[in-house]
Structure 1
Amino acid sequence: MNTFTRRHLAIAAATALTLGAVSAQAQAPIKIGFLGELSGPTAAVGQDQLDGFLLRLEQNGGKLGGVPIQLVKEDSQLKPDVANQAARKLIERDKVSVITGISFSNIMMATHKYITDNEVFLIGSNAGPSQIAGGQCSAYQFITSWQGDQAAEAIGQYATEKGYKRVFVLAPNYQAGKDIVTGFKRFYKGQLADELYTPLNQLDFSAELSQLAAAKPDAVFAFYPGGLGVAFAKQYAQAGLIKQVPLLTTFVVDALSLPAIGDTALGVVSGGFWAPDFPNEQSRRFVEAFEQKYKRVPSNYAAQSYDAALLLDSAIDKVKGKVSDKKAFMVALKQADFKSVRGDFRFGNNNFPIQGMHVMEVAKDGKGRLGLKTIATPFKSHQDAYASQCPLK
C-alpha cells in the first residue's frame, strides 16, 4: 500500500469517526425530570399527569422534537422536604435540563426558586400558585395548566349569574386552597355563609358538613382535589345535602373521582379549562388515544401534562435539540407553537396560559359513563389576576 493510499484511508477513517461522534452527540438523550405526587391519597393526580406525558412520548417513539428523551421520575409524596431533596437530585446528580409535573402548590412553592435559580426549565403541568404568576415569576417557568384562581373565577361568575345569595365555601388549608377561594370571591357578588379551611390531609368532613347544614346556604363551593374530593363528595351525598344544596366545585368531580363517587355526583357543577367533551380535533385524538392505552377517561391533569409534552416537542424541535442554548429554548417555549387539547393557548407575560375558562356539569356520556359536560364559558382568552405583578414582558 503506497503512502497516498494510506493517507486517504486515514483521512476517511478520521472523517467516519468524526461523523459518528457528531451523530451520537445529536442523538444523545435529553434528560427530563418528572416530579409529582405518586403515592398516598392524592397519587391519582400525579399518576394522571405522568400518564398524559408518557402518552405523547410513546406516540413519538420515545422522542420529543426528534430527540430521544430520558425521563427520570421522582415522587414528592406531598412533602415539601422530600420534594426539595428530589429536585436537588434531579438537577445535581441526574443533570436534567427540564423538570415537569409538580402536582400541588405547596410543592411548587418549596421547589420553584431552587429549580429556576439553577436555570433549569420548569414546565409545570398542574400547580399554579399566585406568587409565581406574580412577583415571584421566572423566565424559566412555563405553566401548561392554569393559575390557581382561574377555574374558581368561572364558578364565581356562574354563581352570581345563577342568583345564589349565600354560598358556603370549603377548601384545604394550603396555597391552592386559598388561591381558589380568592378566585371565587373575585367574581361572586353575593355573601359568604362561611369560609372554612381544613387540614390538607383531612378525609373526615362530618363536623364541617354539620356546620354547613346549620348555615342553610343557597349553594356550596368546594375545592378538594384527588382523594380528598372523593371523600368530600361521598360524605356530602351521605349527609343528604346533595339534593338540598347545589354543589359547585373545582376539581372535586373529574375523571379521577367520578368512578368512585358514583351517580350521586350527577348535576354537580365544576369549573376548568378543559373537559373530555371538547370538540376540537386535538382533544378528540388525545381522549381516544388515552382511553385506548389506559382503559379510562383522561382527567384535566392528564390533558395539561399532555400539553406539556406537546409544548416541549415543539420547542425542542425549533432549537434542533440544543436545549443547552437556553435563550433560544426560552424563546421557542414562549412561542407555544403547538395545538393544545383545549383549543386556545398562548402564554401571557408571566408564562401562564391565556385561555378560556369553562363551567361543566356531571352527566352521563353516550356510553353511560359519568363525565363532565360543558355548559357555559364565562371567560374567553382569560388572563390571570397576577400577571401585572410579574416583571417579565
Structure 2
Amino acid sequence: MKVSSKLAGLGVIACVMAQPALAADKIKIGVIVTLSGPAAALGGQVRDGFNLAIKDLGGKMGGREVEVVVADDELKPDAAITKVKGLLERDKVDFVVGPIFSNMLQAIHRPVTENKTFLISPNAGPSSYAGKECSPFFYVTSYQNDQVHAILGKVAQDRGYKRMYLLVPNYQAGRDSVAGFKLDYKGEIVEESYVPLNTLDFQPELSKISSQKPDAVFTFMPGGMGVNLVKQFKQAGLADTIPVLSAFTVDESTLPAQQDAAVGMFGGADWAPNLDNPQSKKFVAGYEAAYNSVPGTYAMQAYDAALLIDSAVKAVGGDLANKDAVAGALKKADFTSLRGGFKFNTNGYPIQDFYLTKVAKRPDGKFQTEIVQKVFESYGDRYAKDCVAK
C-alpha cells in the first residue's frame, strides 16, 4: 500500500509538472497553398496575409507562441495529399489553413478532417462541403463558390444584358461559378466554354466571342490564366466593345501583370482594398508596407483566418485538447473581420456582404479593385439548409 501511495503521489506530481510544459508548447499551423506555377501569386497572398496577421498578433495566440509551417501543393492533388499528410504526421499541426483551389481542397479535406484536425479554407469554398458533407472540422473564411459568381449574374440581369458568353476552367470551382452565375441571370447564354485548368492560350474562345458578339462576357480565370486572358482580350480588340464581368480574373494577384489592359473590367468580391473601415485600412497599409504590393481578397481572407483561429484559442484558454470546445469557439467567430460584418452559417461558411468591383489605376501608379456597389447583404449560401453535422 505504501508503495502504491508513493507511486500515486509521484503520478500527481508528474501531471502538475507537465502542465507548464504543455502550456509552453507552440501552436503549430500548417499553411498549404499553391506556390509554384502560374497560380503562385495567389498562394503568395494567402501566405503573406496569414503571416502578417501572426506578426500583428505578436506571434502568439492565447498566450502560446505560434509556429507556421508552409507547404506548396504544386496544384497537383497527389502532391497536396502527400504534403498535408506531412503536416499532420511529421509536423503534428493543430490547424491546417488552405488551399487556394477547390480541387486541392477536395484532395486534402478527408485526410485532415478524418484526422480530427481543423481545416480552415481562406479561399476555396466548393458546394461539395457546404451541404450534406459539412464537417465540424471544416470552416471557410472566404465564401461558398457560387456566391461570388452570383454577384455577376445579378448585375448582368439588372443591367439588361440579353446574351452572355461564359468562359471558365473545367474543374469544380469552374462548374460552381457557372451555377452561381445562373442563379439570377435569366437571359440567353450563347455558349459555355470549359477550358482545361492552366490554359494560357484563349485564341479559339476569343474567335468565338468575336463572331457571336454577346452583350457581355462572364469569366472566372484565376492566376496566370486570368493574366493571359485579359491581355489577349485587349489585343483582340474586344475590350472596347464587350464588357467583362469576372471573378478572380482581375484582382490584386493578377493586376501587377495585367495593368492597363484590365482597367475598367468588373469583378465580384466580398471585399476590396478601398473598403472604408478602420481595420481594413490598417491591414492594407500594413500589407503594402511589408510586401510592397496591394493585397487582394486572398490575403484578406487569410488574415481573417488567423484572427478566427486566435479567437478560438483564446476562448478555450489555449487548451486545444477538447475538440468540441474548439469547434464551438470557431463557430462563434468572435473576432473583428477586415470586411466588417461576418458570421458563420450552420455549415461553417460565412454570411456576409458582397460587392461589384471595378479595376482602377491609383495615383501612385498601382492597380486595385474598388467597390462600385453592394449587390448582396448578409448573404448566406443555399446549401446550408442541408447541413446536419453542426
TM bucket (normalised to shorter chain) is over 0.9
385, 389, 393: which one pairs with 2:386?
389
Q: State how far apart, in whole Å, the 2-side matches of 1:238 and 1:391 are.
A: 50
The alignment-based identity, stated in percent, is 47
Q: State how far apart, in whole Å, the 2-side matches of 1:194 and 1:229 are.
A: 19
Q: State how far apart, in whole Å, the 2-side matches of 1:125 and 1:65 are.
A: 21
2:372 is aligned with 1:375: yes
Residues 1-393 of structure 1 mapped to structure 2, 5 A cutoff: 21-393=18-390
Tell me, yes or no, if the aligned pair for 2:198 and 2:224 is still in contact at 8 Å: no
- Deviation, 1:98, is 0.8
Tell me, yes or no, if the aligned pair for 1:64 and 1:309 is still in contact at 8 Å: no
Amino acid at match of 1:197: Y
Q: State how far apart, in whole Å, the 2-side matches of 1:366 and 1:311 are.
A: 34
Q: State how far apart, in whole Å, the 2-side matches of 1:203 and 1:36 are.
A: 21
Amino acid at match of 1:259: P
Partner of 1:189, secondary structure, is coil
Tell me, yes or no, if the aligned pair for 1:31 and 1:69 is still in contact at 8 Å: yes
Determine the structure 2 residue equivalent to 1:7. none
Tell me, yes or no, if the aligned pair for 1:50 and 1:101 is still in contact at 8 Å: no
- Deviation, 1:41, is 0.7
Unaligned runs of 5+ in 1: 1-13
Deviations 1:223-274 (A, max 9, x none): 0011111011111101110001001100011111112112121110000101
Partner of 2:107, secondary structure, is helix
Q: State how far apart, in whole Å, the 1-side matches of 2:256 and 2:40 are.
A: 16
Tell me, yes or no, if the aligned pair for 2:221 and 2:247 is still in contact at 8 Å: yes
Unaligned runs of 5+ in 2: 1-11
- Deviation, 1:21, is 4.8
Q: How many residues align?
A: 380
Tell me, yes or no, if the aligned pair for 1:55 and 1:290 is still in contact at 8 Å: yes
Deviations 1:91-126 (A, max 9, x none): 122211110021100011111122111111001111
Amino acid at match of 1:59: D
Deviations 1:160-186 (A, max 9, x none): 111000010000000000001110011
Partner of 1:324, secondary structure, is coil
Q: TM-score, structure 1 length as denominator?
A: 0.94
Tell me, yes or no, if the aligned pair for 1:134 and 1:390 is still in contact at 8 Å: yes
Q: State how far apart, in whole Å, the 2-side matches of 1:193 and 1:44 are.
A: 32
Q: State how far apart, in whole Å, the 2-side matches of 1:365 and 1:19 are.
A: 59
Partner of 1:243, secondary structure, is coil
